[in-house]
């Protein structure tokens, strides 16, 4: 099964994992690796250990919060040094839910990334409540 790592600045990784588990429950091969500025020197080692642990079982997708940030850059450096690692940035909860829940024994990291990007884009919306002006447009019929 494709292993998944959530990483990002501050409490992003733990928060995403917590929200994910609240909705879908704990999952195999899904871990959080937070990046805290005061622990920056230890972060590459922690990320490497998490990746290596999951690589022992198969391919890995690393979900990062922000393209260009330290978690993303360190993940890309790992992907450049080792095979079977894919990196996705701009992680949101719909993306994570769909991608992780889509995994099965025949999935590849590339498959998981494709699901992630599609679900991530679909999960972004600008929802608005109707206003009084929209009622005045005659969209709704008057009652009896």
Higher-confidence residue of 140 and 98: namely 98
Closest CA to 60 of 42, 87, 33: 87
At 138 the pLDDT is: 54
Please state, in angstroms and rounded to a whole number, the distance separating the CA atoms of residues 54 and 109.
12
> Which residues sit opposite 34 in a β-bridge?
8
Tokens 């609240």 sit on residue: 22
40-71 pLDDT, tens per residue?
999 999 999 999 999 999 999 999 999 999 99
Check which CATH number belongs to the domain holding 66 and give it.
3.40.50.510
At 133 the pLDDT is: 79
Please state, in angstroms and rounded to a whole number, the distance separating the CA atoms of residues 6 and 80.
18
CA atoms within 13 A on the CB side of 138: 0
Residue 50 lies in a domain: yes
Higher-confidence residue of 132 and 87: namely 87
In which band, very low, low, confident or very high, does the pLDDT at 8 lie, cut at 50, 70 and 90? Answer: very high
At 29 the pLDDT is: 98
Two tokens at 2? 């494709």
Two tokens at 115? 């699901």
- Domain extent, residue 29, equals 3-124
Q: What percent of the chain has pLDDT over 90?
A: 90
* Count of the separate structural domains present in the chain: 1
In which band, very low, low, confident or very high, does the pLDDT at 137 lie, cut at 50, 70 and 90? Answer: low
Two tokens at 18? 């917590």
Residue 143 lies in a domain: no
Q: Is the pLDDT of residue 100 over 70?
A: yes
Residue 82 lies in a domain: yes
DSSP per-residue codes, 98-140 = HHHHH--TT--HHHHHHHHHHHHHHT--------HHHHHTT-S
Q: Is the pLDDT of residue 90 over 90?
A: yes
Residue 141 lies in a domain: no
Residue 15 lies in a domain: yes
């Amino acid at each position: 099964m494709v292993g998944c790592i959530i990483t990002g600045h501050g409490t992003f990784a733990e928060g995403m994992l917590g929200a994910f588990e609240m909705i879908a429950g704990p999952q195999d091969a899904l871990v959080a690796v937070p990046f805290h500025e005061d622990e920056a020197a230890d972060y590459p080692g922690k990320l490497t250990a998490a990746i290596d642990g999951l690589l022992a079982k198969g391919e890995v997708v690393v979900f990062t919060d922000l393209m260009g940030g330290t978690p993303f850059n360190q993940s890309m450096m790992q992907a450049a040094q080792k095979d079977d690692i894919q990196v996705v940035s701009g992680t949101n909860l719909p993306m994570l839910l769909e991608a992780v829940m889509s995994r099965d024994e025949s999935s590849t990291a590339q498959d998981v990334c494709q699901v992630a990007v599609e679900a991530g884009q679909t999960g972004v919306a600008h929802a608005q409540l109707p206003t009084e002006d929209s009622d005045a447009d005659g969209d709704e019929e008057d009652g009896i």
